[in-house]
Every structure is written in structure tokens, then in C-alpha cells.
């Protein structure tokens, strides 16, 4: 079976090489995105592995089906860049990937602590030999209530890691995990908004969760709330984040992703103009920490993403059970 992999980074290549010896597969790696032009070159009966920086909707999926693509795999947990419902309707199999949740959970906890201890300001000051303490006083987790929205694998891991800090932990999910109930309290979403000093998002991006942090939901939150998003940028309305920071209703933001980041993240734009005006404005505030969508980025996770993606393609093509199959 021919398997094409697109958007392949240098750090992924060694893990693809580990799979090249599997009998019956031929791997072809490309660093560029899978565009319409590339789809036209795909062989009949192939599988395709992608990342999440390009959208695959009806035109792209129709062309894949016409070319004879059997299955599509995204080397990410999130799959909002693929119209899974339409892929299902045309008989194109799709799967996502899984990786150990500790990398994102650790990163989330780091973001919380950096926000609570005013780390961005402290770092700026030391770089210009300002070692004063004025304005840098922080808060301790044991005195605060943390709200976790979404208790899937990552959300549950964040809760377990937080439990060692002695803070009160609230949780919200449409499905209440029995194990999580032992260390966190499930509450209605509005209660979580009202009572949490820190809120961290761990849900997929769907039509229901799009802009779940907006002007209305922010108005329910405590003044000075710390918001953490290491999931998907469009869970939050960027205009609301800006107004919340300007009004000081939001005390700090820890963002590993931001709305409309698709043409920016994972690229070196040092000599370019940043095309996202809202992003450029928001990230310059002293209490906004913004990183390049890298919470997932550990050696263990990258290996799992590559291996899971390729194996998912093989399983779907052979009609075998695939644990990560979406359609």
C-alpha cells in the first residue's frame, strides 16, 4: 500500500523511517501541505497522512475520492480541519491519532504557574537588569479554585497533576468520569464559570464549543480570572479576550493556541509582517503568555502521532478495527 505523508517536519522523519520496514507499505514523505494540486498526483488505492494546518472540506475530499484514496489520517488529536461527516457520506475512511496526555497536561500546569507568578514580566525585567519586585507578587494554587472544562484523557491528567497542589478543583463534562469524582467536583458549567479563579479548556472544537468563551460567559466569571487554552484557538472569541484584558476582567491569559492562527503557527516569520492584527495586539500585553501551539510537542508524543497515524491507515485499508477511526 502506498502511503503519502504531508506536512512532515524534520523531527518526524526518524519515526517514519522506523515504519518503512513494515511489509507491504511504501512511504512517500512531503514537507508541504496537501493541496488540490498534490491530491491530483495521488495513486489509486493509497492512504494519506496529514497534519492540521490545511482544511479538508467537500472539494478536497471529493477529489481524494475521485483519485481513489482509501483512507485519510491526521497526525493530531483534533480533527476540526476535516469535514468528517462529509467524508463519511462519500465512503472515505478517516482516523485521528492518540498520544500520551502528560505532555499537554504538564504544559497546562506550567502555563497556570507562569500566569500566577507573573513570569512574563519578571523575565522581561531581568533581561534589562531590572531585578525589582514591585508588581510581581503572585498567588498560590492552594488558595485558589481551578475549573477544568472537559475531562477526557488530557483533562483528567491535568486534574490528577493539580490534585497535588492542594487547590479546589471543579470539573465540567457531558460525561462524568467516576475516577475524576474522587479528586474533583463536577458542577454545572455556569457554576464553574462563577466560582473558578483559573479556568482551563480541554474540549474538542465543535459547533457546540466554538467561542464557548465569549462576552456572555466571561461576564459570569470572577474579576481577574486566569484563562488557559492549550486545546483549540477558536474555543475562545479573540475579541472577547482582548476586551477582557483591556478591562482587567481577565487577570491573565495562558494561550498555546489562538483563533486564526492557521497561517502563522509552526512557521518562522521573523522577517515577515504578522498577518493577524488581533493576535499581534493581544500577545503584547504583560499578562498574556502566548506560545506556538507546542503543548503536544514532546519526543514521545511526536513518535506516537506518526506511528498511530500510519498504523491507522493500514488498519482501515485492511478492514481491521481501528481504535482512532472517526468514520
Catalytic (active-site) positions = 232, 261, 293
- Which are the contacts of 96, defined by CB distance < 8 A and separation ≥ 6? 73, 74, 76, 77, 78, 79, 312, 324, 326
Q: Tell me if residue 281 falls in helix, strand or coil.
A: helix
Which residue do the cell numbers 504583560 mark? Answer: 286
d(C-alpha 217, C-alpha 100), whole Å:
31
Partnered with residue 73 across adjacent β-strands are: 49, 95
**The three three-digit cell numbers of residue 83, written as one number:** 469535514
**The three three-digit cell numbers of residue 183, written as one number:** 479528586
What is the DSSP code (8-state) at residue 272?
A: S
What is the largest distance, in Å, between two alpha-carbon atoms of the chain?
Answer: 65
3-state secondary structure 225-289: EEEEECCCHHHECHHHHHHHHHHCCEEEEEECCCCCCCCCCCCCCCCCCCCCHHHHHHCCCCCEE
d(C-alpha 21, C-alpha 5), whole Å:
16
d(C-alpha 73, C-alpha 52), whole Å:
11
Closest residue by Cα to residue 240 from 105, 231, 255: 255
What is the DSSP code (8-state) at residue 142?
A: G
What is the DSSP code (8-state) at residue 222?
A: P
Amino acid at each position: 500500500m502506498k502511503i503519502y505523508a504531508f506536512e512532515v517536519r524534520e523531527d518526524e522523519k526518524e519515526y517514519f523511517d522506523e515504519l518503512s520496514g513494515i511489509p507491504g507499505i511504501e512511504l512517500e514523505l512531503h514537507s508541504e501541505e496537501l493541496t488540490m494540486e498534490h491530491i491530483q498526483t495521488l495513486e489509486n488505492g493509497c492512504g494519506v497522512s496529514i497534519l492540521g494546518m490545511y482544511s479538508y472540506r467537500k472539494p478536497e475530499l471529493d477529489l481524494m475520492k475521485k483519485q481513489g484514496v482509501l483512507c485519510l489520517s491526521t497526525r493530531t488529536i483534533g480533527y476540526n480541519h476535516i469535514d468528517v461527516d462529509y467524508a463519511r457520506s462519500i465512503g472515505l475512511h478517516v482516523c485521528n491519532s492518540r498520544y500520551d496526555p502528560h505532555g499537554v497536561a504538564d504544559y497546562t500546569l506550567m502555563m497556570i504557574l507562569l500566569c500566577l507568578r507573573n513570569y512574563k514580566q519578571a523575565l522581561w525585567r531581568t533581561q534589562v537588569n531590572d531585578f525589582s519586585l514591585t508588581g510581581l507578587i503572585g498567588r498560590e494554587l492552594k488558595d485558589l479554585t481551578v475549573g477544568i472544562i472537559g475531562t477526557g484523557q488530557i483533562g483528567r491528567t491535568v486534574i490528577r497533576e493539580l490534585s497535588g497542589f492542594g487547590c479546589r478543583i471543579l470539573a465540567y463534562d457531558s460525561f462524568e468520569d467516576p475516577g475524576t469524582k474522587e479528586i474533583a467536583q463536577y458542577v454545572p458549567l455556569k457554576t464553574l464559570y462563577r466560582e473558578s479563579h483559573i479556568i482551563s479548556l480541554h474540549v474538542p472544537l465543535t459547533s457546540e464549543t466554538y467561542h464557548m468563551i465569549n462576552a456572555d460567559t466571561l461576564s459570569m466569571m470572577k474579576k481577574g480570572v486566569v484563562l488557559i487554552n492549550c486545546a483549540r484557538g477558536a474555543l475562545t472569541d479573540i475579541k472577547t479576550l482582548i476586551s477582557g484584558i483591556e478591562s482587567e476582567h481577565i487577570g491573565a491569559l495562558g494561550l498555546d493556541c489562538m483563533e486564526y492562527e492557521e497561517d502563522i503557527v509552526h512557521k518562522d516569520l521573523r522577517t515577515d509582517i504578522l498577518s493577524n492584527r488581533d493576535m499581534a495586539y493581544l500577545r503584547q500585553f504583560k499578562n498574556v503568555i502566548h506560545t506556538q501551539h507546542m503543548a503536544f510537542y514532546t519526543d514521545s508524543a511526536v513518535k506516537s502521532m506518526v506511528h498511530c497515524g500510519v498504523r491507522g491507515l493500514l488498519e482501515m485499508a485492511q478492514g481491521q478495527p481501528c481504535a482512532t477511526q472517526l468514520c
